[in-house]
Chains A and B, each alone.
Chain A
Amino acid sequence: MIPPSFEYYAPRSIGEALSLLSRLGDESKLLAGGHSLLPMMKLRFAQPAHLIDLNHIPDLRGIREDRGELVIGAMTTEAELIGSALIRNKVPLLAEGAGSIADPQVRYKGTIGGDISHGDPGNDHPAIMLALDAAFVLTGPKGQRTVKADGYFLGLYQTQLAADEILTQIRLPIPVSGSGWSYQKLKRKTGDFATAAAAVMLQMQSGRVARVAIGLTNVAPTALRAREAEAALAGKSLDEASLGEAARLAMSICNPTPDQRGDVAYKTAMCGEMTRRALQAAAARAAG
């Protein structure tokens, strides 16, 4: 299987990539890790006339700390996230989630920005970004704008990223120390998308939930923030009753597409189970 013909460009700066994107317009696609786009091109689900390869732009890579936030270049690979001491120490949820994506070869090439920008509800970073209250820096011909992860994902393959913009940075508020975290992903085999998955960030105080954020993967046309479940947990201890209620509320917002991974009822039930497990695992890691 060979992709259809296209023109290839390898810009060396964000500015050069933006001017190519403006000039080439709708017929062009940005190439990040390529492990979603190239398979789609082989299958003729995508046939861009121009590919703008972002792999040679140093400003799109790297992980640094900046005034209480982690700033991650959009072309940082999954393998780089997993290998980063900064990520493992400050935002371990991101390392855990990245380690569940695809397989080792794909993680060397796949990027956090590509995973987020693709708008595929099966991708893992969107729900993790929701749980981490991330913000995305979008750079276009008129400059930069910063948008919250919550509200960024509009629908299947649709995000707030405009056709002339590039996602350049991911900004993560560093969670307070003592926070618990977990990404629980049910998948049929290595390399598969989630049947359902849940990302949880949790702060406990005196045995009760002080703050919780829950993101859900692949149970709707976009990743979801489970706000009703979060609200129901506030101030509660995590016991059978509160976990059951949180799982029920997470399931109540599911609208999964039935496919070979399961029907609607099964995927919805697994979302509840992943939510419950992620909350329990996060609680085991949380202080207080």
Chain B
Amino acid sequence: MAKTHPVSFLLNGEPVAVEVEARELLIYTLREKLAHTGPHIGCETSHCGACTVDCNGMSVKSCTVLTVQCEGAEVLTVEGLERGGVLHALQQAFHEEHGLQCGYCTPGMLVRAYRLLQENPNPSEQEIRYGMSGNLCRCTGYQNIVKAVQAAARKLAAAQAAA
């Protein structure tokens, strides 16, 4: 049995603890040890973005991060976007604007768009395309993904103004 390392981190706000080999990639820990199958395995070569999760305020491709590097981290997956049975504005907007077809890329798209809007709450179309360029979609042609991010940005801004 190879040497393992204890790793503790916050997953969608809940503390979790796992024992992993140093070579274990975060995507496998999330999917196989922690039953969070929202992040998908696409290319496994850090190109496609299907495995994107948020780690310490950064969008990362969890196929290219070692779990052992996540000690003490705050990790957010698509499962953490919804609150109390209410979809996040981005999830609702992807639904309303038809920002998905097969849905395989969607968890990565949503989590990446979440961080993009945290950093830039009112992005231009060009900024959305640049900021989302690490996530591939083979169905939509991206038009409706861009529209969904724009719609979510407007909705979040309106909610902020009302608060």
Chain A contacts to B: CB under 8 angstroms: 1-8, 10, 34-35, 38-39, 42, 51, 53, 55, 79, 102-106, 108-109, 190-191
Contact of B46 among A5, A10, A35, A51 (CB under 8 A): A35
Assess whether B60 is in contact with A1, with CB atoms less than 8 Å apart: no
Report if B66 contacts A (CB, 8 A): yes
CB distance from B68 to the nearest CB of A (A): 5
Q: Is the CB of A104 within 8 A of B112?
A: yes
Q: Is the CB of B25 within 8 A of A104?
A: no
Give Cα A190 to B46, complex, Å: 12
Per-residue interface assignment for chain B, residues 104 to 123, with 1 indicating a CB less than 8 Å from any chain A CB and 0 otherwise: 00000000100010000000
Contact A38/B134 with A3-B23, A105-B49 known, Cβ cut-off 8 Å: no
> CB distance B65 to A39 under 8 Å?
no
Report yes or no: A105 in contact with B59, Cβ–Cβ below 8 A: yes
Given known contacts A39-B64, A109-B60, A2 and B49 CB-to-CB distance under 8 angstroms:
no
Complex CA–CA separation, A79 to B55 (angstroms): 14
> Does B60 lie within 8 Å of A108, measured CB to CB?
yes
Whether a CB of chain A sits under 8 angstroms from the CB of B34 is no
Contact of A105 among B21, B44, B134 (CB under 8 A): B134
A160 to B143, CA, bound (A): 47
B61 at the interface (CB under 8 A from A): yes
- A42, B112: Cβ atoms closer than 8 Å: no
* Closest partner residue, chain A, to B43 (CB atom): A1
Give the distance in Å from the alpha carbon of A34 to the alpha carbon of B69 in the complex: 11
Are B45's CB and A104's CB within 8 A?
A: no
Sample (16) of A-B pairs whose CB atoms are under 8 Å apart: A1-B45, A2-B23, A5-B2, A7-B3, A38-B46, A39-B45, A42-B45, A103-B134, A104-B59, A104-B116, A104-B132, A104-B133, A105-B49, A105-B58, A106-B46, A106-B61
Q: Taking CB as reference atom, which chain A residue is nearest B116? A: A104
B65 near A34: Cβ-Cβ < 8 Å: yes
